[in-house]
Amino acid sequence: MRPSPVALKSLGPTLSLEEFLFRQQIKGIYRKVVRSIYKHHERDDLMKFLRYEFKIKEKHDLAYRKYLLSQGTQRINDMAMMLGLNISV
């Protein structure tokens, strides 16, 4: 049975393999950091910081988003080192 055209439209645009793998990498890093932050007593402030770092306000090409991810992971590693958290992303 084929899905209706309306159902296919609601799925959004088709991702390339590289885009799909990049999103999976982002999700994995996010989950790893959330698990580590959850154990910390200042987790509310740390979650706000994490959400801010992972929020993309505009659509950019994949290369620019990879650059933003590297900058964000560097900031997360710096924050973890200052707070003594054991996060390695």
Task: Specify if 50 maps to a domain.
Answer: yes
List Cβ neighbours of 75 (8 Å cut-off, separation of 6 or more). Answer: 53
pLDDT digits (tens, 9 = 90+) for 18-59: 989 998 998 998 898 888 888 777 788 888 888 887 777 677
Query: Tokens 């988003």 identify what position?
Result: 65
Within a domain: 6 = no
Name the band, by pLDDT with cuts 50, 70 and 90, for residue 7. low
Domain that holds residue 40: 16-83
Note the pLDDT tens digit of each residue in 48-88: 888 887 777 677 788 888 888 888 888 888 888 887 877 77
pLDDT of residue 44: 87
- The answer to whether residue 34 sits within a structural domain is yes
d(CA 48, CA 46): 5
51 inside domain: yes
